[in-house]
A and B are shown apart, each in its own frame.
Chain A
Amino acid sequence: MAHKKPNYYLVWLYLLILTIAEVAVAFVSGLPFQVLVFILLGLALWKAALVAMYYMHLRFEPPRLVLLVLAPIPLAILFAIVVVTMEVF
């Protein structure tokens, strides 16, 4: 509980800039589809991490709670890889 307050407005500004960047990348960049998906998902995960760390205060929680929350992430990545490579197998 006793932690220095993050600057919530700065996080908001970050989220706003990243959202504008996403829309710009999707509609004006003209990149090939695979590159586009890679960048867009990266930006989305970056935004999600900002919300979880600062608004949900995960950065300031005891390590065991952080571990509880992060444990399923490798499984989710595995799930995504299996889905995307389904045609290959």
Chain B
Amino acid sequence: MSEAAAIHAQAPRPMEGIRVYNVKLGMWVFLLSEVMFFSGLIGAYIILRFANPEQWAAPGEVLNVPLTAFNTFMLICSSVTMVKAFAAIEHGDQAGLKKWLLATIVLGAAFVGIQIFEYIKLAEHGFVPVASQYAAGGGPLYGSTFYTMTGFHGAHVSIGVLCLIFTLVKALRGHYTEEYFSGVEIMGLYWHFVDLVWIILFTIVYLI
């Protein structure tokens, strides 16, 4: 191992004052900026919806709630597998890390796959983001706000899956150790945050 690589593989030291290592603090600050991003979208949704109640159909009338409830379940499961991957490498369990990361990737990809299937089915029934082509229950604002919110979340999951594949490749090369696992930890923070956002969005978009 070269000297640079040896330094790189050292456990990150907690910063003075806040007592969290800097990569983790950076991820938390990024996630807080994501809170603002989704708060803006949810705020716009509430205003548009209560100003135009006639544009919204009753929950379950247009959207397929059982399918999405199942998808929510898959995302919750992927959070467990992610946290198990982190718990594994914390104890230096390389095989466990790879196994649980792979499971998280499969569940995350399945979530995106089901969402695409859902979009196709909804579009077939005339539920589209384009106002002039909207033909389902409710009005065009329903379609455009739905696709904006779930679409941005789906993009976050997709990016998360790509980052997980990157993390798995590094894990397969033996990059992470019992002392050096910050990459897995901050990957987990992002992944759980995406799960957390979906918990809120599922309630607001599908159930209310």
A-to-B contact residues, CB < 8 Å = 5, 8-9, 11-12, 15-16, 19, 22-23, 26-27, 36-37, 40-41, 43-45, 47-48, 51-52, 54-56, 61-62, 64-65, 68-69, 72, 76, 79-80, 83-84, 86-87
Contacts and interface: CB of A to CB of B under 8 A. Distances in A.
A84 to B, nearest CB: 7
Interface residues of B, number: 42
A40 B79 contact: no
Q: Quick one: which of A22, A48, A55 has the most chain B CB within 10 A?
A: A55
A9 B199 CA distance: 18
Classify the interface of chain B: helix, strand, loop or mixed.
Answer: helix
The list of the 5 closest CB pairs from A to B, nearest first, reads: A44-B203, A26-B207, A62-B19, A55-B192, A12-B80
Given A12-B77, A79-B39, A44 B69 contact: no
B189 A56 contact: yes
A23 B65 CA distance: 9
Interface of B: 17-20, 25, 28-29, 32, 35-36, 39, 43, 46-47, 50, 59-60, 65, 69, 72-73, 76-77, 79-80, 82-84, 87, 188-189, 192-193, 195-196, 199-200, 202-204, 207-208
